Structure formats: C-alpha cells, structure tokens
Structure 1
Amino acid sequence: MESWFLNDWFISLSPIYQSLFGGLFTWGLTALGAAIVFFTRNVNQKVLDAMLGFAAGVMIAASFWSLLAPAIDMATAQGITAWLPAVTGFLMGGLFIRICDAYLPHLHLGFPMEEAEGIPTSWRRATLLVLAITLHNIPEGLAIGVLFGAAASGIEAAGGATVASAVVLAIGIGIQNFPEGTAVSVPLRREGVSVGKSFWYGQLSGVVEPISAVFGAAAVLLVQPILPYALAFAAGAMIYVVVEELIPESQLKGNTDIATLGTMLGFAIMMLLDVALG
C-alpha cells in the first residue's frame, strides 16, 4: 500500500516516466535556487556554506536510508550474501566518480582557476563550475531512477523499495538542489557574469538529473539482478561526491561549525522524510 501523499495517476505510470518526472522535479528546484540571482548578487558566505553542508547531509542520509539499506534487504531476498552487493556496488560507485573526476575538466566552488581538475582545457571558469556540479548530479539522478526501477521490480516488499520511497528520495534531492543552484549562480554574478548567464549556468547543472534518472530506471528494468548493486553504486557515487566536494567546499572559508550544523540538519531532515513518508 503506497503512502497517502501519492496520486493514483502517478503510481500507475511506468517507472521510466516516474523517473523522468522525479528528475525534472529536482532540476526544477535547481533552477529555482539559481533564480535567486535575479533578486540579489550577494548571499552571505555563511549562508552559502550552511546550504552546502545541508546538501551534504541530505546526500549522506539518502545514501543509507534510501539506497544501501534497500540494497542489503534485496540481496537477502534474492538469496545473495547480504553484504556483497552493498560493498561491491558502493566501491564501484566511488571508483566511477573518481575516474570521471580525473578526466572531466571541472572546478570546485571557491577554488582558483589554477586548481581546476581533469584534463587541461581552455574552457571558461563558468563552464568548469557547472561541470563540477553536473558531475555530482549524475549519481543523484541515477539514484532516483534506480529506486523507481526497484519499486517496479516485484520484490519491493522484501527490499524496502517502493514508489513512495523513491518519491521521498526525489523530494530530498530536490530540496538540497535548491542551495546548489544558488551556490553556482550567485558566485558567478559576484564575478561580473550577467544575471541571465548566471541563472543559465546555475540551472544547467541540474539538466543531467532527469537524463540519468531515466537511464538508471531503464538499466535496472532490463537487468533486474543488478538492482542491489545499482542501488549501492548510486550510494557510493554520492558519498564520494560528499567527501571529495561538498564538505571541503562548505568549510573552505572557515565556517566549519555552521557548515557542520547544516550537514546535521540536512541528514536529520532526509532521515525524517524517509522514515515518516517512505
């Protein structure tokens, strides 16, 4: 039985369309956050750092409550050694982002151009900033798609993956995408980029989410035995992004306490959403 907040029409959709709508929702909140730039070119650095910490907390909580725990339950239901898919998929997800990180040109928020990562390029700072956010939005979209695919797998009762839990994950990721959109557009505006371009680059980082969500759902529907591995893969990719990018960026300006409290709040809210609604 699905949760009270779900519409029958949405439940009746195929997981591909559910994933698409989930990804479009998270993209929309990224754009909404980027739209802050139309009203101000300055957001207090402490606020930005707290927002980045909040995003990190949401992703950490989602990685366990929405992805790793169902992966372990599904493995048990399939008669697989419970820890094997979780550990294997988790490490593969982190390795995937590490490889992307090594080759895709990008620049983390708050860092000078000299510290751009990936292969050398002449691309502009704005492009590299967007690519950095885009890189960590890929596992978020995958997570949404994989969970919707898992809900349609026929083993949701045993695995704990339902349409409701997938919707909750999309809501949580959407909430943390709002500050990410702001964290891209406002610094660009501060550096003299026009309002329109600052907004464009801010929302552009979220475009990849509906695409990767649909890909994730299609992959697990075609090859259902990979479900627990796919869930853990998305979790590993998200945790790698949190540790390598979000937490360092949130504390770069010295606002460590505020950023840490933001992380705690984000974790608590995502945990609340998942337990109460999922």
Structure 2
Amino acid sequence: MNDMLGSTAAASDPVADATEKSRRSLLWLVLPLVALALAILWLLTTDPLRSFRNGAPPVENLTFERTILSSAGISVLVRAGGSEPMTVAQVQVDDAYWQFTQDPPGPIARGATAWIRLPFPWVLGEAHAINIVTNTGATFGHEIAVAVPTPARDSLSLFHQGVLGAFVGLVPVAIGLMFYPALRGVGQGGMNFLLALTVGLLAFLFVDALEDALELAGEAAALFQGHVMVVLAATASFLLLMAVGRRHGAPAGLALATFIALGIGLHNLGEGLAIGAAFASGAAGLGTFLVIGFTLHNITEGIGIAAPILKKRPPLAAFVGLALLAGGPAVIGLWIGSLAFAPQWSALALAIGAGAILQVIVEVSFFLMRSSGTGLRALVAPGAMAGLAAGVGFMFLTAMLVKI
C-alpha cells in the first residue's frame, strides 16, 4: 500500500509536471526557428531565383544625409538603400566630373553609409549641384542651395550656438514661468481658462511636431520607412508616458507640470535639430527678428507649465528645473543639428515629442475636468473654449514670425 501511494505521489509531482511542460514549450519555440534556418540555407545553396534574372540592373537608392563644406572642399555622407551593394563610379559637381575619395572604399552595402570627399573649390553664397553616378549608370542628385562653411567643432562656435538655443528655448520658457505670481490670484474660472489655454498651445505643438516629423521622414532613406516610424514612435511615446504617469494615479500639481515641461522639451529638441541643420547648411540666415519671433512664440509654453501649480507653492529650484527641462533641449538640439544632422533621427525626435505632447493634452484635459468639478462639461464651458482658442490662436500667429 505504501509503495502504491509513493508511486502515485511521484506521478503527480507538480514540479516534474512543470518542468516537462517547459521543455515542450521550448521545443515548440525552437522548432519553427530551425525550420526557418533550414529554409534560408536551402535558398542560399540552391539559388532558385537564378531563372528570374534577365540582366536588368538591381534596384538602387542613395540618400544624401549630410553635407560638409570646408577649405578642403565638399564632403557628403550618403546611405545606400538598394537591393544590392552599390558602387560609386563617378561624381559630378555643376555638370563637371571631379576626382573623389570614398571612406570606407568599395561597394556600399544596403543600409550602410560612406563619405564622398571632393576637392571642389566651392564659392561662398553660390548654389552647387552634386550628381553621383553608380557603376550601373544610375544617378542621384543633391543640391547645395547656398554654400557656406559648415560650423567647426570648437568652443567658440558651440558657445554661440548655445546662446542662440537659450534665446530660442530657455529664455521664453523662463519668462513665461515668471508670470506665476501674477496668475496665482485667479479664481476657478481663470484657472479653467489657463488650463484650456495650455491644451490649446499643446494642440498646436502636437500638429506642428507631427507635420515636421512627417516632412523630415520623407527626406530619410526609404529603408527607415519614415512615415511608419513616425507613427509608431509617437504612439509608443504616448503609451509609455501614459503608463509612467499613471503609476500612482492621475498626475496633478508639480507632477503634471513636469510632464508638460517634458513634452515641450522633446518638441524643442526636434525644433533645435531642424534650426541647427538649416543654418549649418545655409538654407536660412539668422536675423534678430527671427530670434525675437521664436521668443514670442515660446513664451506661452512657460505659462502652460505654470498652470497646474498655481494653487501650490513649489520651491524656486522647481521652477529652475522646469525651465531647464522645457527649454534646455533646444540648446542640445541646435548643437547636434549643426554638427551631425540626419533627417531620420530628427523625425524620430519630433515624433517622440509629438507622442509626449499628446499624453500631456490628455492629462491636462482630465485635470481640468477634475479641478472644475463639472466633468466633461468643463471642456465645453465658455471660459475653457475661450482659453483653447486663445492658446491655438496665439501659437498660430506667432508661428508666422518664425516660419521660413
């Protein structure tokens, strides 16, 4: 009898059953991977596609990602996106063939990059056209609209770019936060107006960031699937920040202000990338009026950050941190954009910023409904609608000063 009981207990041992189940699961996980590996091996060894080859050249695609103009000539960074490795055979500048060096040399694999260096005596302020000819005869063109020296990596140029980034992003946010003491005396109606104004300015930034991200994505190499990348990055950013923000319930007060500053900061990072790249490439000249326009355009961002903390008394360090979080990325973006710009990474930064801004729009809207005590009716109240219109309208009008 004891032997029979022992045998039954051993047969129904839960640990052994779990181990056996794990082994079966692992087997069913490995089996499809083995089948895939065998299929690829067969495809490579037997080459069944040879009957479809009719002598036509492979599909080729070349994207220009960066241009550097210096005393040594012109250097362009290109990325291959064809079905086969590409070989650069000749390079034309202004319809004349020029000697060139390639780094690294040899065929450029799909997704890989290479520097093409030309000892071309470019002319300051002039336009130049570059054509790259591959060994199959395909040509890929790139235009330098205005030839200007690419900023050098030295402390002086970085300092000047930092000053510009501060005026574009940091100074206006700090000025907007300085309205905090004057706004603390507003009643519930004024509070609802300011929160709705925050939603309005964030809604404008969301549309603006998404539009710029999609435009830059169209300039990136096809293999990055730019438009899909933008949608996926924005969605992932939104969902991730929603999950983080809701760990301890709906954010309010300083936590909500921090999320607003983060969303604006990510937007300013992408904006700084685009500005730095435009000025470095000579696509735009910098004027005092343009800097003033950026300052006016971004002042409302500071007011929006201050709105959720009007009934609190945060320490001075909190305001400094919020200003740096929202405006500081503009400095970083301008540095990166002027020295190492690539359209796909700028599009990615703007997409992440758009997702973060959408998360803040949702949270500020919920905060408005909770703080007013009237639920959904708070969003369509006259004061809220006026604030929403004021936020969008101010951002739209001031954007007219900075669009070039």
For 1:37-56, list aligned pairs within 5 A.
42-56=185-199
Provide the residue aligned with 2:254 in structure 1: 130
% same residue: 15
The 10-residue stretch of structure 1 (42-51 or 147-156) with the greater mean CA deviation from structure 2: 147-156
CA distance in 1 between counterparts of 2:401 and 2:297 reads 13
**Unaligned 5+ runs, structure 1:** 1-11, 110-128
Output the CA distance in 1 between the equivalents of 2:213 and 2:195.
27
Note closer, same or farther for the CA distance 1:91–1:14 as it changes in structure 2 (3 Å cut): farther
Quote the offset at 1:23 in angstroms. 3.1
Larger Rg: 2
What secondary structure sits across from 2:277 in the alignment?
A: coil
* Aligned ranges 1:99-248 → 2 under 5 Å: 99-102=243-246, 108-109=251-252, 129-154=253-278, 171-184=296-309, 186-188=310-312, 201=318, 204-218=321-335, 222=340, 224=342, 225-243=344-362, 245-248=363-366
Residue identity opposite 1:71 in structure 2: A
Q: 1: distance between equivalents of 2:162 and 2:249?
A: 30
Higher RCO (C-alpha 8 Å, min separation 6)? 1
1:72 pairs with one of 203, 214, 218? 214
TM-score for both structures, normalised by structure 2: 0.49
Q: Aligned-pair distance for 1:215?
A: 4.0
Of 173-182 and 200-209, deviating more is 200-209
1:68-108, Cα deviation, whole Å (9 max, x unpaired): 212222222335455223312312331342354245x6874
Supply the RMSD in Å over aligned alpha carbons: 3.7
CA distance in 2 between counterparts of 1:33 and 1:182 reads 10
Paired residue type of 2:235:
L
The CA distance in 1 between the partners of 2:205 and 2:291, in whole Å, is: 10
1:121 match: none
Q: Does 1:29 align with 2:147?
A: no
The one-letter code matched in structure 1 to 2:211 is A
**Separation in 2, partners of 1:32, 1:146:** 25
Structure-2 residue corresponding to 1:262: 387
SS in 1 for 2:258: helix
* Of 369, 381, 388, the match for 1:251: 369
What SS is found at the alignment partner of 2:179? helix
Report the CA distance shift for 1:267/1:232 in structure 2 as closer, same or farther (over 3 A).
same
Any idea what SS the aligned residue of 1:153 has?
helix
Structure 1 275/22 Cα, relative in aligned 2: closer, same or farther at 3 Å?
closer
Per-residue deviation at 1:232?
1.5
Is it true that 1:20 corresponds to 2:166 in the alignment?
Answer: yes
TM-score (norm 1): 0.67
* Deviation (angstroms), 1:46: 0.8
Cα distance in 2, alignment partners of residues 96 and 69 from structure 1: 22
| Residue pair 2:261, 2:305 contacting (<8 A) in 1 also | no
Distance 1:166 1:64 in 2: 22
Question: Which structure is higher in helix share?
Answer: 1
SS across alignment from 2:185: coil
Which structure has greater strand proportion? 2
1:98 and 2:235 matched = no
- The aligned residue for residue 3 of structure 1 is none
Compared with structure 1, are the counterparts of its residues 21 and 87 closer, same or farther at alpha carbon in structure 2 (3 Å cutoff)?
same
Residue 9 of structure 1 corresponds to which residue in structure 2?
none
- CA gap of 1:166–1:73, structure 2 versus 1, over 3 A, is farther
Name the structure 2 match of 1:87: 231
Figure out how many residues of one structure are paired with residues of the other and give that number: 233
Q: 2:294–2:402: 8 Å Cα contact kept in structure 1? A: no
CA contact (8 A) 1:72 1:86 kept: yes
Aligned partners of 1:60 and 1:267 also within 8 Å = yes
